[in-house]
């Protein structure tokens, strides 16, 4: 178990990785990645039952994770590397020709830790529900996690999966929503009107938990509540209130950094704001 | 002319139902999913014998594809069943991302394919599905011709490791292939040897082509009939071997022209062995309500149209 201070240090390093990856690739999605960094760091370092050394794509005997909001590969790959799935040095190949670190998650190049292709939005929760059902059929007691975006939740398939998971009593499925209120074209409320996400998930019959996605205590309490729902017959949805671009003042709280890359002087400013960690840059 | 006996009209979807049950009995990892079409897909026997392995998804096809991909990742062999239109066009992106690109061992059981779906009309009659599925890298496309072959194709699909599109139909049609003939993915079947023209057929048009071959024989024309039960990967060698002998061909399919078997065969001949080729297909049209037989005749897909196409092909030699 990592302490909150240790989680904080890892998250800081992951945010440094995210910025350096997208700047080296001159493309990618830093905003949402930085907003969900604290969630994924906590998930992989304190919550999931997983072992990179014995990882297989079938997920047998371990917890599994699907990144439904597949554009957030910078945070995903950084956390996987920092958790030991592949060398951190490989982060420098992100989005380059021949890389295993494709722009959106791919299983074609056997990158350890990735279970399914994703990024065409709205599809990952269905795949996660299938994984959860597979574990039930196999009597594998491990859990399946899935991270969606709030903008992504405009996709109808998210709600098909919401119905399916309840109908099949997938209480081994823990969904998470990166509830940052932003999407490419602007604030979610101005683009398509998100409404009350908590009320929507409750209406579908999920065990809904709302948490602060930048407070490690709140994040861990939310996971504890979600895990406690195993046996209830209900899947869990944690709505993490987050801030896009969290950790760097000029990137925080705006959709403008969804898919844009800092200029060199902005990168320097951002890295100075984050500070260094003992983990070191890749 | 080799004689084929119709042992009694049966729907190919029932061949799938029997094949699915047998596949489930042979492999405990086989699971079946449907989007509220259990009866139409003839999944009842499987569902009764393996209730835990039958997964009802409700009228939500997109989620069904994704859930099947997840089940496949955990080691299951999922068959997803719906009408052809709703497991292809409606969910093309899901199949592309999570099945084809995602390399998951999902079997797409596509019933009520083509115009012979009949009275429901064009909203439910897809004549474009082969084109969509052929376009996906690595997708195997099967289109068996009768009850027995569909049963065997289902067993072959279950054994094959990778995405498979398995196309079959709604109406009762002649059942004439051997019950116990193992289905070999990627192999064309010479249904009748001939020397003057090759009738290249798939699905329901195989029986129609055999009827056409009989009519042509009465005129002194020797027609070779190839059953292309696997549209992708295409058995190019069998097609080329036949065309080297006959020198011309007809391609008959219950599908529109764009992206169908006809274009696939034309591509092979253009590259390897240019020969006269006449197409029997739905051209560039939507269907309409009607009985299957009336629609096959009206859209020019039955035996008489295939025979006429053969005469045209021979005249162009």
Low-confidence ranges of chain B (pLDDT < 70): none
| B contact test, residue of A127, A144, A148, A161 with most B CBs within 10 A | A127
Q: What is the CATH number of the domain that holds B129?
A: 3.40.50.970
Chain B residue with Cα closest to A134: B71
Residue B145 lies in a domain: yes
d(CA A214, CA B267): 57
- Are the CB atoms for B163 and B106 separated by under 8 Å? yes
Residues with Cβ within 8 Å of B92's Cβ and at least 6 positions away in sequence, in order, are: B132
Q: How far apart are CA A207 and CA B174, in angstroms?
A: 53
Structure tokens at B91: 């969910």
Say if A125 is an interface residue toward chain B (CB within 8 Å).
Answer: yes
CB count within 10 Å of CB B290 equals 18
Beta bridge partners of A176: A147, A238
- Phi/psi at A73 (5° precision): -65, -30
Q: Which residues of B202-211 are buried (b: 16+ CB within 10 A; e: fewer)?
A: bbbbbbbbbb
ipTM: 0.97
B160 with B87, same domain?
yes
Q: Same domain, yes or no, for B209 and B264?
A: yes
The whole-number pLDDT of residue A175 equals: 98
- State mean pLDDT over A240-267: 97
pLDDT in tens, A210-247: 999 999 999 999 999 999 999 999 999 999 999 999 99
CB pairs under 8 A between A and B: 120
Cα dist from B187 to B158, B180, B205, B224, B235, whole Å: 17, 16, 17, 16, 6
Distance from CA of A62 to the nearest CA of B (A): 11
- The pair of three-digit structure tokens given for residue B212, joined into one six-digit string: 């056409």
pLDDT of residue B127: 98
Q: What is the pLDDT of residue A263?
A: 97
CATH number for B293: 3.40.50.920
Give B-chain residues touching A118 at CB under 8 angstroms: 97
Distance from CA of A229 to the nearest CA of B (A): 21
Task: Indicate the burial class of B216 (C-beta count within 10 angstroms; 0-12, 13-18, 19 or more).
Answer: buried
Nearest C-alpha neighbor of B197 from the set B234, B139, B270, B247: B247
Q: Is the pLDDT of residue A146 over 80?
A: yes
Residues of B tagged active-site: 61
Are residue B166 and residue B93 in the same domain, yes or no?
A: yes
Closest chain B residue by Cα to residue A114 = B102
The last residue of one of the domains, among B147, B173, B199, is: B173
Whether residue B48 is found in the same domain as residue B96: yes
Is B183 contained in some domain?
A: no
Residues in chain A: 282
Three-state helix/strand/coil letters over A147-178: EEECCHHHCHHHHHHHHHHHHCCCCCEEEEEE
pLDDT at B217: 98
Same domain, B204 and B169: no
Domain that holds residue B200: 189-315
Query: Which residues of B, range 89-118, sit inside 8 Å of A by Cβ?
Result: 93-94, 96-98, 101-104
**Total tally of structural domains belonging to chain B:** 2
CA dihedral A258, A262, A266, A267 (to 10 degrees): 100
CB contact B190 to A (< 8 Å): no
Provide the sign of the torsion angle of the four alpha carbons B95, B100, B102, B105, taken in this order. Answer: positive
Q: Which of A58, A120, A160 sits opposite B73 (nearest CB)?
A: A58
- Which residue intervals of chain A are DSSP H helices? 4-25, 30-35, 37-42, 73-82, 124-138, 156-167, 188-191, 197-204, 216-228, 264-274
Same domain, B194 and B148: no
Contact A148, A124 (CB under 8 A): yes
Do residues B44 and B161 both lie within one domain?
yes
Cis omega (within 30 of 0) for bond into A178: no
pLDDT at A92: 98
Question: In 3D, which of A69, A62, A83 has the Cα closest to residue A33?
Answer: A69
> Rounded to whole angstroms, how far apart are CA atoms A14 and A277?
10
Token digits for A50? 């997983």
Q: Is A244 helix (H, G, I), strand (E, B) or coil?
A: coil
Q: Which residues of A touch B72 (CB under 8 A)?
A: 130
| Structural domains in chain A plus CATH codes | 4-274 (3.40.50.970)
pLDDT exceeds 90 at position A195: no
pLDDT tens profile A58-108: 999 999 999 999 999 999 999 999 999 999 999 999 999 999 999 999 999
For residue B248, being part of any structural domain is answered with: yes
**Residues B163, B129 within the same domain:** yes
Report CA torsion sign: B108, B110, B114, B119.
Answer: negative
User: Residue B101's closest chain A neighbor by CA?
Assistant: A117
Q: Are A125 and A41 in contact (CB under 8 A)?
A: no
Sequence length of chain B is 317
Please give the structure tokens belonging to residue A53: 């050394």
Residue A17 clears pLDDT 80, i.e. is over it: yes
Instruction: Assess B51–A contact: CB distance below 8 Å, yes or no.
Output: no
**If you average pLDDT over every residue of chain A, what do you get?**
97
Q: Read off the pLDDT of residues B288-303 as tens digits, 9 standing for 90 and up.
A: 999 999 999 999 999 9
Do residue B239 and residue B111 come from a single domain?
A: no
What is the distance in angstroms between the Cα of B94 and the nearest Cα belonging to chain A? 7
B94 falls within a domain: yes
The answer to whether the CB atoms of B93 and A120 lie below 8 A apart is yes
Is B162 near chain A, with CB under 8 Å?
Answer: no
- In this structure, are B60 and B91 located in the same domain? yes
Q: What is the CA radius of gyration of chain A?
A: 17
What is the model's pLDDT at position A193? 72
Provide, as residue numbers in chain A, all residues whose Cβ is less than 8 Å from the Cβ of B78: 130
Q: Of A116, A131, A134, which is closest to B102 when you measure between CB atoms? A: A116
Evaluate whether A86 touches A111 at the Cβ level (below 8 Å): yes
- Kindly state whether residues B230 and B280 are assigned to the same domain: yes
Instruction: Give the separation between CA B191 and CA A82, rounded to whole angstroms.
Output: 60
Residues B121 and B215 in one domain: no
Task: List, for residues B269-280, the tens digit of each pLDDT value.
Answer: 999 999 999 999
- Given a contact cutoff of 8 angstroms between Cβ atoms, the answer to whether B153 and B142 are in contact is yes
């Amino acid at each position: 178990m990592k302490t909150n201070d240790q989680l904080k240090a890892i998250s800081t390093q992951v945010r440094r990785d995210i910025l350096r990856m997208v700047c080296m690739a001159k493309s990618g999605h830093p905003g949402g990645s930085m907003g969900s960094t604290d969630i994924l760091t906590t998930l992989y370092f304190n919550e999931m039952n997983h072992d990179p050394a014995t990882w297989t794509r079938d997920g047998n005997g371990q917890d599994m994770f699907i990144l439904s909001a597949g554009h957030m590969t910078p945070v995903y790959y950084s956390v996987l590397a920092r958790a030991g799935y592949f060398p951190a040095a490989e982060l420098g190949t992100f989005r380059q020709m021949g890389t295993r670190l494709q722009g959106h998650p791919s299983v074609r190049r056997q990158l350890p830790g990735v279970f399914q292709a994703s990024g065409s939005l709205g599809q990952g929760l269905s795949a996660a529900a299938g994984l959860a059902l597979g574990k039930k059929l196999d009597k594998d007691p491990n859990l399946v996690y899935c991270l969606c975006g709030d903008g992504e939740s405009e996709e109808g398939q998210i709600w098909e999966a919401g119905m399916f998971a309840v109908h099949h009593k997938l209480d081994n499925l823990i969904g998470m929503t990166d509830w940052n209120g932003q999407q490419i074209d602007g604030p979610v409320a101005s683009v398509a009107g998100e409404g009350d996400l908590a009320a929507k998930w409750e209406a579908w019959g999920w065990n809904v938990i709302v948490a602060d996605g930048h407070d490690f205590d709140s994040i861990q309490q939310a996971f504890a509540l979600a895990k406690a729902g195993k046996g209830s017959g209900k899947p869990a949805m944690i709505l993490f209130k987050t801030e896009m671009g969290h950790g760097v003042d000029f990137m925080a709280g705006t959709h403008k950094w969804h898919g844009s890359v800092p200029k060199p002087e902005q990168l320097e400013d951002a890295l100075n704001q984050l500070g260094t960690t003992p983990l070191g840059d890749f | 002319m080799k004689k084929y006996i119709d042992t009694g009209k049966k729907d190919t979807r029932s061949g799938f139902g029997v094949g699915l049950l047998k596949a489930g009995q042979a492999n405990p990892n086989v699971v079946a999913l449907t989007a509220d079409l259990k009866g139409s897909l003839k999944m009842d026997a499987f569902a009764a014998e393996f209730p835990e392995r039958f997964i009802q998804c409700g009228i939500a096809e997109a989620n069904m594809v994704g859930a099947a991909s997840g089940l496949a990742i955990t080691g299951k062999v999922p068959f997803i069943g719906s009408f052809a239109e709703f497991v292809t066009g409606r969910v093309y992106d899901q199949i592309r991302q999570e099945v084809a690109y995602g390399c998951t061992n999902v079997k797409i059981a596509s019933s009520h394919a083509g115009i012979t779906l009949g009275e429901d009309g064009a909203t439910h009659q897809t004549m474009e599905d082969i084109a969509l599925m052929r376009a996906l890298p690595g997708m195997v496309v099967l289109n068996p011709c009768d009850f027995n072959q569909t049963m065997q194709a289902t067993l072959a699909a279950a054994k094959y490791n990778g995405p498979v599109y398995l196309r079959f139909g709604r109406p009762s049609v002649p059942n004439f292939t051997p019950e116990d003939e193992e289905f070999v993915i990627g192999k064309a079947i010479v249904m009748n040897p001939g020397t003057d023209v090759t009738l290249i057929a798939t699905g329901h048009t195989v029986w129609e082509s055999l009827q056409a071959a009989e009519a042509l024989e009465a005129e002194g024309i020797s027609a070779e009939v190839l059953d292309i039960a696997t549209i992708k990967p295409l058995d190019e060698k069998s097609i080329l071997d036949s065309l080297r002998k006959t020198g011309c061909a007809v391609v008959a399919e219950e599908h529109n022209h764009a992206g169908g078997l006809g274009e696939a065969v034309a591509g092979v001949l253009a590259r390897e062995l240019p020969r006269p080729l006449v197409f029997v297909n739905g051209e560039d049209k939507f269907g309409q309500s009607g009985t299957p037989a009336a629609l096959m005749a009206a859209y020019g897909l039955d035996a008489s149209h295939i025979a006429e196409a053969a005469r045209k092909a021979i005249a162009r030699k």
